[in-house]
Chain A
Amino acid sequence: MSRILLSSVAAVAVMASAHGAAAQTEIQFWHAMGGNLGDTVNELAAGFNASQKEYKVTAVYKGSYTETLTAAIAAFRAKQAPHIVQVFEVGTANMMAAKGAIYPVYQVMADAKEPFDPKAYIGPVYGYYSTTDGKLLSMPFNSSTPVLYWNKELLQKAGLDPNKPPTTWDELGEMAGKVVAAGGKCGFTPQWQTWTMIENYGAWHDLPFATKANGFGGTDIELKFNDQPRIKHIQRLADWSKDKRFVYGGREGKSDSLFNGGECAFRVGSSGSAAGAEKALGKDKVGIGMMPYDPAVRPKPQNSIIGGATLWVLQGKPKAEYAGVAKFMTYLSSTPVQAKWHQDTGYVPITLAAARATEDAGFYKANPGRDVAVKELTLNPPTDNSKGLRIGNFVQIRDVVDEELESVWSGKKDAKTALDEAVKRGNELLRKFEAANK
């Protein structure tokens, strides 16, 4: 009996080792895309796995951005890190600072001798995640930019032309006033207020968020967003809140219920929210256009900056496995994959070719407004103020700005006091980051 057992164990062992020799190398990919987005990510991984035999990408959903990052950090400390982890854009400076932990994408590509052309990528998408001399640190994955949404039905009710959106903030205020006067509950609400009303308001008007090219030039930087135009803008919104022309709906995406529930006529929010709004209100009821601007600050808008997340490669795996990582990155950047990702999700494509392919396929004609995000990002060549943001401890700084803005909306502080305080508190967090990363 025991002889049979022993020989069968041996047989299994031989089979296992034979299997091992022919087995694919597994690439672990941890991401934060739940629901429909998660399904699309799984499709991407399956597409890559079907395209070649050497590597197998395993996509694992790890929860929210924060949870995914925390899980990756814990795994790295325990030497169990995945090859690829998706990190949101505000974590960029902190990831860069973790020098022993990350494997910059440009280096991954070079070491694997994988062809890689930086010029194929859309400027502000590529620029946000590259060094000052243009080397890509992490692979852009899901990128979005704020756009203006409007509810055509509410505009019609107020006697306004539903196909003529406001182009300036003053126009938006006037139109919002008419919406409220016609019995509307809410004129305008922002989504991700710090990202849309402070960071992107700055880039759109070519105003600095921080010194040294918004932090691209070093960690010894000071925040600069308490300038006159932004104080005026925030104060204007606070004034509007008195007659419901402005309604605050909460941090991050919490104001979605206000716009998708049909209460607010206007919203500045992520281009990635288009599908959700169209689903909630009906495709023909939602208008998508460029963000309004203030002609008094700048005669024409500059360009918007992105939000979203990128794929970081982590150190600590056998060298040969990174060749598979490089192949997967190439696959993700390929035109059909990017075009599909863009059309399915509403995130902007990361390459110009994918945007063109989408246009040629007639997608923008069938889905008006879906091209606005790319248009905004590529409106002008990015300046130092509109290339992106590279801010240490940015997650905490955003929390600080959110807190201070909330104190304006609740009437506790005026815009100047709040923004000055936000800059002061933010600078303290920057000094902490600087000290930790000397």
Chain B
Amino acid sequence: MEKRVTFNERWLPYLLVAPQMVITIVFFFWPSAQMLFQSVVVEDAFGGNTKFVWFENFTSLLKEPAYYDSVRVTLVFSFLVAAVGLALSLLLAVMADRIIRGASAYKTILVWPYAVAPAVAGVLWGFLFNPSVGTVSWLLHGIGIDFNYVTNGNQALILIVIAAVWNQVSYNFLFFLAGLQSIPKSLIEAAAIDGAGPGRRFWDIAFPLLSPTGFFLLVVNIIYAFFGTFGVVASLTQGGPGQATNILVYKVWNDGFRGQDLGGSSAQSVILMLVVILLTVVQFRFIERRVHY
């Protein structure tokens, strides 16, 4: 039997949904429509001299080697942020789960970084690793590593991965911890009685039962790496040195607002939107089926 909630008044459901619809239309559909329009025209910065150019913005974008560099950097960056972020937070969650005394203090401290805005996180890490006045780079110099993210592209990429992961690890940690705590104790105990060690218990029981949480976090982390890390890049490296940290979302902003090239910038946004739609569909359609619920 299907359970249905019905309203006596016809207008009530529409009224209840209206605020959300208004917000979605004003803040999502309207800008998206503008973006689609901008991506097929060229105009001067002030919106005059508008010319319809079909897909010229896209073709000139796809001819640009810098765009492919940016795609490559984004893929590497997103992979690192998601992989390192998930592994690290799972480790922390497992360890926090075992702590008996002072557990809440550890948890509070681990959750703390999430309260820091990405831009602030960027400034913070930039200061620690500043080539001339940074404490960490001074220590690294002591052990013979010349850390200079201003000129070294790989080091700059490492630095923004560190800052981005640090900012996101708390979020992942919370979900993993909640996941671990919702695993029935009886299962773990039964395995222990059968002679399974802690490692075995984790890999054979806890890990598969965590997979829905892990899958959800994977989606969230990839989206975070694609879009949420703008602040870190903008405050730390501005895409440099060279184009070593010029991730797609930063390039969209840089071309659009610094370069005043709204057409090219919108074309990039359209592609980015398609990529995200595709990514989400793929993940929910194919990967979700294999996840053990």
Interface residues of A (CB under 8 A from B): 66, 69-70, 73, 76-77, 91, 94-95, 97-101, 248-251, 254, 257-258, 261, 263, 393, 395-396, 399, 402-404, 406-407, 409-410, 412, 425, 428, 432, 435-437
Q: Is B189 an interface residue (CB 8 A)?
A: no
Number of A-B contacts (CB under 8 A): 101
Task: With CB as the reference atom, state the residue of chain B lying closest to A400.
Answer: B66
Interface residues of B (CB under 8 A from A): 42-49, 51, 60, 64, 66, 130, 132-133, 150-153, 238, 240-243, 254-255, 257-261, 263-264
- CB distance B42 to A77 under 8 Å? no
List B contacts of A393 (CB < 8 A). Answer: 259-261
8 sample A-B contacts, Cβ–Cβ < 8 Å, listed by A number? A73-B260, A94-B44, A395-B259, A403-B243, A407-B242, A412-B153, A412-B242, A436-B44
A409 to B42, CA, bound (A): 36
- CB distance A410 to B133 under 8 Å? no
A404 to B263, CA, bound (A): 24
A396 to B152, CA, bound (A): 22
Known: A258-B132, A425-B66, A437-B49. A406 touches B259 (CB 8 A): no
A sample of 8 more A-B contacts (CB under 8 A), given A100-B46, A248-B150, is: A70-B257, A95-B45, A404-B242, A406-B242, A410-B242, A435-B42, A436-B42, A436-B51
Known: A100-B49, A436-B43. A263 touches B240 (CB 8 A): no
- CB distance A395 to B258 under 8 Å? yes
Task: With CB as the reference atom, state the residue of chain A lying closest to B41.
Answer: A436
Task: With CB as the reference atom, state the residue of chain A lying closest to B130.
Answer: A257
B86 to chain A, nearest CB (A): 31
Query: Chain B: interface secondary structure?
Result: loop
A138 to chain B, nearest CB (A): 14
Task: With CB as the reference atom, state the residue of chain A lying closest to B260.
Answer: A94
- CB distance A257 to B257 under 8 Å? no
- CB distance A73 to B43 under 8 Å? no
Task: With CB as the reference atom, state the residue of chain B lying closest to A258.
Answer: B132
A258 to B242, CA, bound (A): 20
Known: A97-B44, A98-B46, A437-B49. A410 touches B261 (CB 8 A): no
- CB distance A409 to B258 under 8 Å? no
Residue in B43, B51, B258 with the greatest tally of chain A CB atoms within 10 Å: B258
Task: With CB as the reference atom, state the residue of chain B lying closest to A396.
Answer: B259
B198 to chain A, nearest CB (A): 46
List A contacts of B240 (CB < 8 A). Answer: 250-251, 402-403, 406
List B contacts of A97 (CB < 8 A). Answer: 44-45, 49
List A contacts of B66 (CB < 8 A). Answer: 425
- CB distance B49 to A432 under 8 Å? no
- CB distance B44 to A437 under 8 Å? yes
List A contacts of B45 (CB < 8 A). Answer: 69, 73, 94-95, 97-98, 101
- CB distance A101 to B46 under 8 Å? yes
- CB distance A432 to B241 under 8 Å? no
- CB distance B243 to A410 under 8 Å? no
- CB distance B242 to A399 under 8 Å? no
Contact of A249 among B150, B153, B242, B255 (CB under 8 A): B150
A396 to B238, CA, bound (A): 13
Known: A248-B150, A403-B243, A409-B151. A99 touches B47 (CB 8 A): no
Contact of B151 among A94, A410, A432 (CB under 8 A): A410
- CB distance A410 to B42 under 8 Å? no
A412 to B243, CA, bound (A): 12
List B contacts of A258 (CB < 8 A). Answer: 132
List A contacts of B64 (CB < 8 A). Answer: 428
List B contacts of A436 (CB < 8 A). Answer: 42-44, 49, 51, 263
